[in-house]
Structure 1
Amino acid sequence: MVSCGRLKDKFYYDSPKLIRFQSIGCVCVKWLIYVVIAICVCYTLIAHKRYQEKEEVTSSVRTSVKGVAHAVSRIWDTAEYAIPVQSKDSFFVITNIIQTDDQLQGNCPEAPFAKAICSTDESCEKGSADIHGNGVQTGRCVWYNATLKTCEITAWCPVQMEEHPPEPAVLRGSEDFTVLIKNNVHFPKFNYTVQNISPNFNSSCTFNKITSPLCPIFRLGDILQEAKENFSEVAVKGGIIAIEIKWDCDLDSWSYYCIPEYGFHRLDGKTRSQYPGFSFRFARYYKLPNGTEQRTLFKVYGIRFDILVFGTGGKFDSVELFTFIGSTITYFGLAFTAIEICFNLYSCSRCCKIAFCDNIIRKKYETVLEPKKVMLVSYVDEPHVILIKEPLKTSLQYAEGSIFENHPVKFSDPCSFFTNESNENCDAGESQLSWLMQSTRSPECPRWCCCGQCNLMLKSHEQLCCRRTDGPCITTTYWFKKLVLSRGTLNKALLYEDPFLELTGDNTNSQLRHAAYKQYIHWRFGSFELEDRTVIPSCCRGVIRSTYPTADGNYTGFKIE
């Protein structure tokens, strides 16, 4: 049976419970947040094309440098100043040079640096080679010039004399050189290939960010100018410049766009104090008629251009569209979250209290409690059921509690129980309930009693009166007698639950007494799930027990557990 019940529950739909209240402020906040979120979602969807499937670009680059310069009594063409580099998608252009001609292998003085300067042969170690030197020491100290001695070395002689590059740069005319960049990109997922050179390409154009932004021919001086650099200054010691090619392609037929965007900036730190610029050495070798090998050593400075290609291609995809819409729908919950945060901040605030907000908070939140850890009490002169948590530190009458809002209604309409009662009786009962709000007190009852009808109780959880302030006891009213004590009412209640119940015999008083307890609870507390945690006041419990007593005079009472 249990398994069948669980199986049946699987075919029921559970919907969250909401409360509805009228508030212009909350509605305005909600719709304001809705509009802001809708605008942001639409902007992101359209501007960032979130309906498209994206793929990173795959690229290949080729370069061709053109230009001729005259320097150092010779003509420099592409084969001499444009040197291939090992890194991918880069090219190097010589801008400055230190040239050492006619070097032969032999013995000669080392260039003057700290470890090579000497005064005697003892300062030079035969066979040693310094990492900053040009050869292997012979162990002799020789004159480098008229005033300075250095260690003699076996090396390509003479060694390079100049330490600093010439200013201005030897090949400063390379500013007018041009480079043609050929860039092909491919998007494998979409099987689409495009290049930066259009079919109607004009080979006489030169790139200009305003007039010719798509021309693939770049003047080197213009590249450095776009990178916010001065070509004459960079040409002295060299540098590294990035040429960025950005492809953001929209491959949809209705909004096709796929053209490159060029950008330039410097990569090396021009403010570095050590190893500034970009330089390296290379040599050209010759054979003399006598078979001796000779070379010309070049230390070249120049600009390395790194071509960086990046970007994405996108094409409409229904899955991406619905995924984006589905993920953004949850953002509309921010409206409820914002309003809930306001209510939470209000509930934490003690500076001001608004009855409307208090009512919403009580209606919205339902606290689930451990039944054995709470007690519920009701006072005739207060409109709410009070929840008191254990353990008690004082008499239950004086214990501090909170309003318990989990019950549907505190008081039922007593006239609805009796269809044959006259309107006069109902009016009389209502008059007596109003009379209960008057204040009187008898000095002979326990200190915690306010109605004058309570008995002395030793246990603190049984020390409870029907009232919070002094006044008549609820047991003296017409409705208490009619709803709680009347045998006819209790018989009807018992037979309503069990039509075949025998109301004769020794157990009758016990049945009637428990029915009276339940009648009082339903009358004063309403019908809800924590009936066994409600505490009946001492005065009411005493009258019920005296009306329907046990044979031995023993009663169980409220179990605090």
Structure 2
Amino acid sequence: MGELIKLVRNFLSCYPNRKTICSQDNICKKGHADTYSNGIQTGLCVAYNSTYKTCQVRAWCPVESKSTPEPAILASAENFTVLIKNTIHFAAFGFTRKNILPEYNVTCKYNKVDAPRCPIFRLGDILSEAGESFSQVAILGGIVGIEINWKCDLDPWAFSCHPQYSFRRLDDKAVDDSLYPGLSFRFAKHYKGSDQKEWRTLIKAYGIRFDIQVYGTGGKFQFLELVIFIGSYLSYFGLATVLLDLLISQYYKCCCSPNSGQKYYDEQKYKEIQGPNILRSCVDLKFVSFVDQNDIIMVDKKLRKSLQKTKGHHIKREKLTTSELFTRMVHPTAIDIEPSPPSKKYLNKASDSPGWCQCLKCHKEKELENQLCCRSIKGECITDSDMFKKLVLDKHTLVYILQYNDPLLKTHSLDNEKLVNCAEQQYIRWRFGSNTDIMVFSKVPSCCKFEIRNLLDSNIQETSVDAKALSSSDASQKPLLKHQR
């Protein structure tokens, strides 16, 4: 479709405008071609009409017209048909498919309802599916897109792989006329006439271009891909907890009491473990407890100076109720135990205490790990407390504990070393708790060691509870048991 124009090269004056109006020849530039002109200036200023003079140009005459023939020259092309051959290949699955299906023959024509997979298309139907009129588009031309979309399920039990066709116009039909809407191109044939003048035949062709666009997706079940997908999907659940923690912390910052809500959330989510789970092969590991501090101190490095002056990590002490404390340390009894007075031999002398001692009752030690006091700063020694004397130093209490653990143990078979070990274990349970990992590496202060070793200087005596004491003990416990029921 198009129009044919025969032109001859000749001289003509330009249409008057700001750049072409002139009064004399020197204003016109020979060889200059203006964008809005139809040719090349000759350098002469000639009369356009009785009012204006314009620069003369050498151009093809007559000047090209922008008008197009209506109706379109080849209106019958609306009934032309086109066969589209398309092949899609899924390299990952080694599968190839053509759009020409065996159930369709050469006589079929595409119809959205009756034959949606026929590859033969009528041009008028293509424009109609795109929402356009063939007779209108054919005048100025246009660009129409034919989309072939493959959605393939390649699993044997649910195989499906067929093309779906859709149509839409790609060019903008609402542009200004000065921008030459539609689709057109020009080509010319040049020759000379009998008068030796140069002629040309200019053909302005208007047409409809069809752009075929192919899209395809194909899938097939693969167990490995399923496992990877599930793993990546589950990872988002881990991010969800982090996001919730962030949102909760940000929310409680805006409340009137920001610490209470966040603290309650942390207590419900996290469980506090009293002390770490320690391997027993850690040679350099030591635990220290000072009477003037609430935390246990963990020292996990080789000592360069006294254990008293070595800094470590603070661990929260295990919290026990009063009943739990006596259940773990001393079995409940109504016997009134009188503490044994400390020996005068090991009474502290301030002048003999080493520099690392803070209670003025420690003795000199050669090994660095034994250079440990019961306090971190100067003050009263723990050995002067009533609880230390009752739980750690009293022989009757120690014998009672040993017999509680071994009911068949006879007092005459006890030696001083057993009492000392029992006293040190009593001190460790009292000050460090019942965590076995911590108890193994716990250190007893020098002042406490010497008070405990004082037991070796006394001869062990058989400890027996007479019937009168037992009866009084039972009598004192009965109301307690009755109350517990």
TM-score scaled by length of structure 2: 0.57
| 1:245-275 deviation per Cα after TM superposition (whole angstroms, max 9, x unaligned) | 1223344444332322122233334455573
Q: Does 1:311 align with 2:219?
A: no
Q: Which amino acid aligns with 2:85?
A: N
- CA distance, structure 1, for counterparts of residue 321 and residue 422 of structure 2: 20
**Which of 244, 251, 267 is the aligned partner of 1:358?**
267
- Measured after TM superposition, the shift of residue 306 of structure 1 is 1.5
Q: Does 1:295 align with 2:207?
A: no
Q: Which amino acid aligns with 2:40?
A: V
Contact 2:290 2:374 in 1 (8 A): no
Structure 2 partner of 1:462: 377
| 1:413-451 deviation per Cα after TM superposition (whole angstroms, max 9, x unaligned) | 877889xxxxxx74248999xxxxxxxxxxxxxxxxxxx
**Which of 407, 419, 427 is the aligned partner of 2:333?**
427
Gap change, CA 1:141 and 1:411, over 3 Å in 2: farther
Q: Does 1:481 align with 2:409?
A: no
| 1:268-322 deviation per Cα after TM superposition (whole angstroms, max 9, x unaligned) | 3445557352332222445645665532223344433211223244555xxx431
Partner of 1:462, secondary structure, is: coil
Structure 1 partner of 2:116: 213
Once the two structures are superposed, the pairs formed by residues 116-515 of structure 1 within 5 Å of their partners are: 116-143=20-47, 149-160=53-64, 162=65, 164-166=66-68, 170-171=72-73, 173=75, 176-187=78-89, 189=91, 193-201=96-104, 203=106, 205-229=108-132, 234-235=137-138, 237-273=140-176, 275=179, 277=181, 278-285=183-190, 288=193, 294-314=199-219, 320-332=222-234, 334-335=236-237, 338=240, 350-352=259-261, 358=267, 361-363=270-272, 386=295, 404=316, 426-428=332-334, 461-462=376-377, 473=385, 475=387, 478-482=390-394
- CA distance, structure 2, for counterparts of residue 466 and residue 270 of structure 1: 100
Partner of 1:197, secondary structure, is: coil
- CA distance, structure 2, for counterparts of residue 202 and residue 387 of structure 1: 90
- Measured after TM superposition, the shift of residue 141 of structure 1 is 2.9
Contact 1:207 1:215 in 2 (8 A): yes
Q: Which amino acid aligns with 1:304?
A: R
Structure 2 partner of 1:520: 427
| 1:211-243 deviation per Cα after TM superposition (whole angstroms, max 9, x unaligned) | 332233434454344334565665554433222
Q: Percent identity?
A: 32
- CA distance, structure 2, for counterparts of residue 222 and residue 431 of structure 1: 111
Contact 2:189 2:201 in 1 (8 A): yes
- CA distance, structure 1, for counterparts of residue 291 and residue 242 of structure 2: 31
Structure 2 partner of 1:15: none
- Measured after TM superposition, the shift of residue 185 of structure 1 is 0.9
- CA distance, structure 1, for counterparts of residue 191 and residue 76 of structure 2: 28
| 1:507-559 deviation per Cα after TM superposition (whole angstroms, max 9, x unaligned) | x9xx96x99666412333234556699798xxx9866655658xxxxxxxxxx
Q: For the pair shown, which has the larger CA radius of gyration, 1 or 2? A: 2
Contact 2:149 2:214 in 1 (8 A): yes
Structure 2 partner of 1:49: none
Q: Which amino acid aligns with 2:212?
A: I
Where does structure 2 lack aligned partners over 5 or more consecutive residues? 253-258, 279-283, 300-312, 339-357, 362-372, 403-414, 455-485
Gap change, CA 1:358 and 1:290, over 3 Å in 2: same
- Measured after TM superposition, the shift of residue 180 of structure 1 is 0.7
| 1:365-396 deviation per Cα after TM superposition (whole angstroms, max 9, x unaligned) | 98899x9999766899xxxx746899xxxxxx
Q: Which amino acid aligns with 1:309?
A: V
Gap change, CA 1:376 and 1:187, over 3 Å in 2: farther
| 1:475-519 deviation per Cα after TM superposition (whole angstroms, max 9, x unaligned) | 2664333599969999xxxxxxxxxxxx99xxx9xx96x996664
Partner of 1:183, secondary structure, is: coil
- CA distance, structure 2, for counterparts of residue 361 and residue 217 of structure 1: 69
Q: Which amino acid aligns with 2:333?
A: D
Gap change, CA 1:297 and 1:486, over 3 Å in 2: same
| 1:342-373 deviation per Cα after TM superposition (whole angstroms, max 9, x unaligned) | 5787688534489897265124898899x999
- CA distance, structure 2, for counterparts of residue 430 and residue 113 of structure 1: 127
Partner of 2:9, secondary structure, is: strand
- CA distance, structure 2, for counterparts of residue 431 and residue 358 of structure 1: 41
Gap change, CA 1:253 and 1:477, over 3 Å in 2: same
Partner of 1:297, secondary structure, is: strand
- CA distance, structure 2, for counterparts of residue 374 and residue 233 of structure 1: 95
Q: RMSD of aligned C-alpha atoms?
A: 5.7
**Which of 100, 105, 108 is the aligned partner of 2:12?**
108
Gap change, CA 1:387 and 1:253, over 3 Å in 2: same
Q: Which amino acid aligns with 1:195?
A: K
- CA distance, structure 1, for counterparts of residue 12 and residue 167 of structure 2: 46
Q: Which amino acid aligns with 2:233?
A: Y
Where does structure 1 lack aligned partners over 5 or more consecutive residues? 1-80, 82-96, 391-400, 419-424, 433-453, 491-502, 550-561
Q: Which amino acid aligns with 1:298?
A: I
Deviates more, 1:215-224 or 1:525-534: 525-534
Partner of 2:86, secondary structure, is: strand
Contact 2:274 2:317 in 1 (8 A): no
TM-score scaled by length of structure 1: 0.50
Structure of higher RCO (CA pairs closer than 8 Å, 6+ residues apart): 1
